[in-house]
């Protein structure tokens, strides 16, 4: 990935918009999401936001770079969580950063009566790290 494209991708992690479903539920998504409104009922609000708000930062991480990738992923996750809390102080979010041979970041609101997207206590195996910020 070209450096400028990567920097653009990282910068776009901090721009959001709110969209509604037909029941008036408000979802926070990345500003560059192609979805502007939801013309149906969303059965699993957590999954909807977590899937819509997932970004592959970069891949092909070598085992020798895993520790550095974890540091970078953790810092981006902290910054994203802080940015969400600043933009939407009345809402509760959880940000996940998954590091393996790639870094994937995603977030969702903590919806009433719905579990979070990932089980933060699960063992995802050697060579995989999951960070959660809430």
Question: To the nearest whole number, what is the mean pLDDT of the chain?
Answer: 94
What is the arithmetic mean of pLDDT over 104-114? 97
Instruction: Give counts: helices (H), strands (E), the chain.
Output: 3, 6
How many Cβ atoms are within 10 Å of 32's Cβ, its own excluded?
13
pLDDT score at 1: 62
What is the arithmetic mean of pLDDT over 16-22? 96
Q: Is the confidence at residue 121, as pLDDT, over 90?
A: no
Q: Which of 2-6, 26-30, 58-62, 111-115 shows the lowest per-residue confidence on average (mean pLDDT)?
A: 2-6
**Gap between the Cα atoms of 104 and 69, Å rounded:** 11
Q: Is the confidence at residue 33, as pLDDT, over 70?
A: yes
pLDDT score at 126: 84
Q: What is the maximum alpha-carbon separation in the chain?
A: 48
Q: Is the confidence at residue 94, as pLDDT, over 90?
A: yes
Give the three-state DSSP class for 65: helix
pLDDT in tens, 34-59: 999 899 999 999 999 999 999 999 88
Contact 61, 41 (CB under 8 A): no
Q: Which of 56-60, 78-82, 102-106, 114-118 shows the lowest per-residue confidence on average (mean pLDDT)?
A: 56-60
pLDDT in tens, 57-80: 988 899 999 999 999 999 999 999
């Amino acid at each position: 990935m070209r450096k400028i494209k990567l920097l653009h991708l990282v910068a776009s992690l901090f721009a959001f918009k709110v969209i509604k479903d037909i029941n008036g539920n408000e979802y926070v998504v990345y500003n560059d999401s192609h979805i502007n409104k939801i013309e149906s009922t969303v059965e699993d609000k957590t999954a909807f936001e977590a899937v819509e708000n997932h970004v592959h930062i970069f891949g092909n991480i070598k085992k020798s770079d895993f520790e550095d990738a974890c540091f970078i992923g953790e810092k981006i996750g902290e910054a994203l969580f802080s940015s969400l809390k600043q933009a939407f102080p009345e809402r509760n979010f959880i940000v996940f950063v998954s590091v393996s041979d790639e870094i994937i970041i995603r977030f969702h609101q903590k919806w009433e009566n719905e579990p979070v997207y990932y089980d933060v206590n699960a063992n995802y195996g050697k060579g995989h790290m999951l960070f959660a910020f809430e």
